Amino acid sequence: MNSRLIVTPVLLLLVVLFAVQNSETVEVAFLLWGLSLPRSILILLVLAIGIVVGLFLRGAARPIGK
């Protein structure tokens, strides 16, 4: 049996449970900027920013010409 048929619905269920359990609105303030959004969205946004920064740093650490 294809493992994707099992893993995909399980991961989707975990994401939905995470979002439901962390739906409380939080206020984020940085300098003059303020934002109010659900905690789950904030956590996923910070995760996405971390992934992008990690990809940039990984690319910057490679020697030139490879």
DSSP codes of every residue in 7-62 = HHHHHHHHHHHHHHHT--EEEEEETTEEEEEEHHHHHHHHHHHHHHHHHHHHHHHS
- Which pLDDT belongs to residue 65? 62
pLDDT cut 70: percent of the chain above it: 89
- Which pLDDT belongs to residue 6? 86
Q: Using one digit for the tens of pLDDT, what is the confidence trace for 3-34? A: 888 888 898 898 889 888 888 999 999 899 89
Domain edges within the chain = 25-66
- Which pLDDT belongs to residue 49? 93
Task: Kindly tell me if the per-residue pLDDT of 53 is higher than 90.
Answer: yes
